[in-house]
Structure 1
Amino acid sequence: MILNKIKKTALCFSLLAAVSCTDNFEEINTNPKEATTQQLDQDYNSIKSLFKPAFNRMYICDVTWQYQLQQSLQADGWSGYMTTPVAFGAFNNHDYALNVGWNSFAWDDAYVNIIAYLYKVEQRSKGKFDQFYAWSLIFKAATMQRITDMYGPAVYSKFGADAVTYDSQEEIYKQMFKDLDFAVAELSKRITAKEKTSFAETDLSTYEGDYTKWVKYANSLRLRMAMRISKVNPVLAKAEAEKAVNDPIGVFTTVADLMKVKSPVNLNVIDVMSHAWAGLFMGADMESILGGYEDPRIAKYWETSDVTSGQYKGVRTGIVYPSGTTYGKFSKTAARTKNGEITWMSTAEVYFLRAEGALRGWNMGGAAKDLYEAGIKASFDQNGVEGVAAYTANNVKKPKDYADPINAANNAAAVSKVTVAWGATKEENLEKIITQKWIATYPDGQEAWSEFRRTGYPKLFRITNNKSGGVISTELGVRRLGYSQSEINNNKVGVESGIAKLGGPDNGATRLWWDVNKANF
């Protein structure tokens, strides 16, 4: 089973040593202040080579057990997407007995295998080859948005300094917006000048180095981040969202715009965990919501189960699992996660972000209802399914009750009650927007978990086997990951600065800065 697949690593993860303990010691530790003749002769190769880890490690797409530790054993389950029905001993994130070893990996890997390399790009390109510096800032913002939304305060402005203290999450968000300002302005200037791209041979995404597409991604990422802070700083959120949408190049509007990266080894790690390892199954929430709506995307996301012939059957997260094989015949992943591609951001998500912005009264270039329906259509188009008009007009079908054929004690009435068709009130329509965004964003459980924490939607089944000892509320669920053990061991001053800015104990119950306990409107 999966437990046997989790390997120990020997990486030196301390942030104090992050720039000096990578596999490419000499490359990372060279610190040229000026461009060299050799650098120019090699067509910027000493800069270009530093981008590859960001493509492979943002959403780990080449080593299955590493993706499992980065995201599968945390957000993919807490988002309601899928679950690994194995007890894993005394410490298991699914039952809120959080495993610090698992939960350290996303932090450690991001700093050692992405941020350290981007820091070197900055050293080699800033003020000299600013197209590369601008590109690195987009990667940096995308990486740190994920890390700060997992952990809270983190190292951002002081990375590479001797004293590695943490920035607050508010400071990180404001700096990410500034970094995207520079990136968009720099690349837009080069687009206007009709400059040939410098990224083509280095770009491992489907963008093939196209500056315009990268600006669209940067703007769309800004829109995502703006919405994330909409409840804690609505003035800044509105300004940043409108800046993204109203930029001359704009945000994603067609399915061709979406950002995705091909695995370098043609591997889809989720498919491996579900099929080769037989240990990752459809979540009960997926069955309830997609099944209740009779959503045609279900066949793209999941296979029918062997326990209920011809039907889709999910496993409820956070219950008592009698054995690693008890739920082994439930629905496994299907075509969506078999092509070796990882979607970093979809056009459907962008339409749903704009729909929520319009619902809040922001200038999003369209009416909330129209943008919401465009988001559904974009997701249908992305997944190659038909029937969007009838689906969008549905004002009858709702998520369905969940029945566990193995143990009736796990049965539960549907917690979400909304239909798909546009409704009458802001709160009702927000629930519809987030529910549809949740469906469309699959399989990125990290983003889905963040939106669940921000809005409370979609409404998900609660776990029944809470083993946190009263630390984490069953009703609220996990709100963040605790800091990396390597940081606790090697950067005590940094961790203490982070906890002070966190405003609560370093555990899974403390809310992040944007995760405010207030109404959505």
Structure 2
Amino acid sequence: MKNILLVTVAVASIGFTACKKKDFADSYADPGKISTSTVDKQFAGTLVSRMWTNTDKGNHGYVVPQYWNYFVILRTTLLHYTQAVGWENSDNQYVPGSASISDNWKDYYYFLAQYRELEKIYSKLPAIEQADNRIYMIAAAIFLYDQTQKMVDLHGDIPFSEAGKLSTNGGNYSASLAKYDDAASIYTTMLDSLKGFADELNSIVVPAYIQKKFNTQDLINLGDIKLWKKYCNSLRLRILTRASGASAFSSRASSEIATILSTPAKYPVVTANSENIKVTVFDLSSDITAKSFKDGLEGDAGRASNTAGKVMIDHMKANGDPRLRAMYQPGDSAKGVYTGVDPVGDRSAQDAAINRDSKIALYNRSTVSRNQYFPGILINAAEVSFLAAEYYLKTANLSAAKTAYETGIRQSVEYYYWIRTLSNDASSGPLTPTNATEVNAYIASTGVNWDLALTTADKLTLIATQKWIHYSVVQPHESWAELRRLDAPALSFEVDNASNIIKQPPVRWFYPSSENIYNKTNYDVVSSKDNLTTRIFWDVK
């Protein structure tokens, strides 16, 4: 089969509120209806192509938690590399599988082709209609950049600027062979565009007839322009922070982050959980649900990804973390004791603990894996607060850094208890509410207390550790990127002496083997980087 990057033909989509698969597929699946599509419908189709699994099209969902993403792609890769879960060590365990790589790649470029079709449809509008429909292009690009950053952070250089344009190029296969764009240049493109969007959103006027349709087609912020502003600027904050250690970006990151954080009226960010950027599950009879999250995370015996890792569990227990009971539940035979899998423990002991003893803690089924209303999290308040804390620490504004750090912790606690309120599952039993006294005690505990961290490095480790706990299994892409960038918290892994490829977790993923076949000329330019040890440009520590 030809590489999806080159041959996917973007197809039309229809608008909906809580659409059924049949309703959507009637228009979405027929390439012959491209000419009848509209900007608003293709905008919705672009979002949908990334949000949930569409077996009719052979693509998989990556925003709302889905089986394929968690079981096939994340289970043996990012969830292990971040120790968000516990697992039994095995030979060649750190090499990402070909299915993980190829499916993730294929699905991203299917999504990108949908976006290119949106660009194509928009470009054919008269100027006055382009102005009216501008909000669709801004919103689609913000979401595209969010998803593209994840791809860059996995692979480094990727085809981007010329990718996904087979339909745009009139079906000319040769003209659609896409070059690889330098990872840093993609970051620059995204930052330049997002800065422009941030200013444009402050003055944009959306006609009433467009706003009415946008409210329906916008599956992320439901037409709320204020939330799109917050999404845009919060994403800028994430990308700037990620690139801040690279010499080519350090000055820009410092300047732009300072501007964002000091002028909230002009550049607002997400500051409360009520503003979290997410895809909400409204109707379990629609396709936008987390029904398959259970099979994706819980899997089956010996292949589950809902078992707790020792390092995270021990930190939470030692410091009285209020999130512990919301995020996890004790093993069925653990008599209320939370125990995690030791990542460097004996393999036979790991096997017994996971598969036979039933004493290992699990991710709370009612909060996480069996919560069919689990939202598709894009950016949230705690994440933004921790990014702000890091910036303030770097600028020696310790008071502001402490406030942002402690605010992030409070928001993270609130976040996990809020997610539990969404659940339609009660199998884990009732969740004892937390309170201000418990949260304050946690913030004052030895392993969390800001004032007990005496050096800048120690304080940065506190921030990094809280990010890591907060991301858990919910945002593994962000977690793995931040672990590589900050080298904190320090995690130990078994040395895989059986592997002749890599003995510790990688710092990037391979490209799919199809690239060396169907896009060989362009692949050859980056082939020297196609290994598991070439760092992404921002990974400089």
Q: State the TM-score, normalized to the length of structure 1.
A: 0.80
Letter in 2 for 1:145: Q
Q: 495, 498, 512: which is aligned to 2:526? A: 498
Tell me the CA shift for residue 190 of structure 1. Answer: 2.4
Change (3 A) 1:450 1:47: closer
Q: Which runs of 5+ in 2 are unaligned?
A: 13-24, 53-59, 166-174, 282-286, 418-433
Determine if the alignment matches structure 1 residue 201 to structure 2 residue 216: yes
The corresponding residue for 2:83 is: 80
The corresponding residue for 1:242 is: 258
Q: 442, 456, 463: which is aligned to 1:391? A: 442
Q: 121, 124, 128: which is aligned to 2:121? A: 124
In 2, are the aligned partners of 1:188 and 1:212 still within 8 Å (CA)? no
Determine if the alignment matches structure 1 residue 183 to structure 2 residue 213: no
The corresponding residue for 1:271 is: 294
SS of the equivalent of 2:516 reads: helix
Please show how residues 92-491 of structure 1 align to structure 2 within 5 Å: 95-112=93-110, 114-126=111-123, 128=130, 129-159=133-163, 160=165, 162-190=176-204, 196=211, 198-205=213-220, 207-232=221-246, 233-245=249-261, 246=263, 248-262=266-280, 264-267=287-290, 269-275=292-298, 277-278=300-301, 279-280=304-305, 281-317=307-343, 321-322=347-348, 327-328=354-355, 329=358, 330-334=360-364, 335-337=366-368, 338=371, 339-361=373-395, 367-384=400-417, 385-386=434-435, 387-394=438-445, 396=446, 398=447, 421=451, 423-442=453-472, 443-469=474-500, 471-472=501-502, 474=504, 477-491=505-519
Tell me the CA shift for residue 343 of structure 1. Answer: 1.6
Change (3 A) 1:152 1:421: same
Letter in 2 for 1:251: V
**Matches of 2:114 and 2:344, distance apart in 1:** 37
Letter in 1 for 2:478: E
Of stretches 267-276 and 160-169 in structure 1, the one that deviates more from structure 2 is 267-276
SS of the equivalent of 2:367 reads: helix
SS of the equivalent of 1:260 reads: strand
**Matches of 2:7 and 2:234, distance apart in 1:** 33
In 2, are the aligned partners of 1:304 and 1:331 still within 8 Å (CA)? yes
**Matches of 1:234 and 1:28, distance apart in 2:** 48
The corresponding residue for 2:44 is: 48
**Matches of 1:481 and 1:444, distance apart in 2:** 18
Tell me the CA shift for residue 67 of structure 1. Answer: 3.4
Letter in 1 for 2:109: Y
- CA distances 1:400-449 after superposition (whole Å, capped 9, x unpaired): xxxxxxxxxxxxxxxxxx75656222111100011111112222111111
The corresponding residue for 2:420 is: none
Of stretches 13-22 and 216-225 in structure 1, the one that deviates more from structure 2 is 13-22
Change (3 A) 1:318 1:466: farther
**Matches of 2:62 and 2:316, distance apart in 1:** 25
- CA distances 1:183-208 after superposition (whole Å, capped 9, x unpaired): 33333322699984642112223x22
In 2, are the aligned partners of 1:242 and 1:362 still within 8 Å (CA)? no
- CA distances 1:473-521 after superposition (whole Å, capped 9, x unpaired): 53xx310100012222211122222335xxxx4121221111114xxxx
Letter in 2 for 1:18: T
Aligned residues: 463
Q: State the TM-score, normalized to the length of structure 2.
A: 0.77
Determine if the alignment matches structure 1 residue 509 to structure 2 residue 533: yes
**Matches of 1:463 and 1:425, distance apart in 2:** 30
- CA distances 1:213-260 after superposition (whole Å, capped 9, x unpaired): 011011101101111011113112213323433351410111111122
SS of the equivalent of 2:334 reads: coil
**Matches of 1:181 and 1:277, distance apart in 2:** 45
SS of the equivalent of 1:327 reads: helix
In 2, are the aligned partners of 1:14 and 1:490 still within 8 Å (CA)? no
Change (3 A) 1:123 1:363: farther
Letter in 2 for 1:250: P
Change (3 A) 1:121 1:320: farther
- CA distances 1:313-334 after superposition (whole Å, capped 9, x unpaired): 2223476645977513222221
Letter in 2 for 1:199: F
Change (3 A) 1:202 1:493: same
SS of the equivalent of 2:46 reads: coil
In 2, are the aligned partners of 1:168 and 1:498 still within 8 Å (CA)? no
Tell me the CA shift for residue 162 of structure 1. Answer: 2.3
Letter in 1 for 2:252: L
**Matches of 1:499 and 1:63, distance apart in 2:** 32
Tell me the CA shift for residue 276 of structure 1. Answer: 5.7
**Matches of 1:428 and 1:153, distance apart in 2:** 33
Letter in 2 for 1:299: R
SS of the equivalent of 2:215 reads: coil
Tell me the CA shift for residue 115 of structure 1. Answer: 1.0
**Matches of 1:421 and 1:352, distance apart in 2:** 16
In 2, are the aligned partners of 1:267 and 1:340 still within 8 Å (CA)? yes
**Matches of 1:234 and 1:253, distance apart in 2:** 24
In 2, are the aligned partners of 1:141 and 1:179 still within 8 Å (CA)? no
Tell me the CA shift for residue 26 of structure 1. Answer: 4.4
In 2, are the aligned partners of 1:201 and 1:209 still within 8 Å (CA)? yes
Letter in 2 for 1:346: N
**Matches of 2:151 and 2:298, distance apart in 1:** 29
The corresponding residue for 2:57 is: none
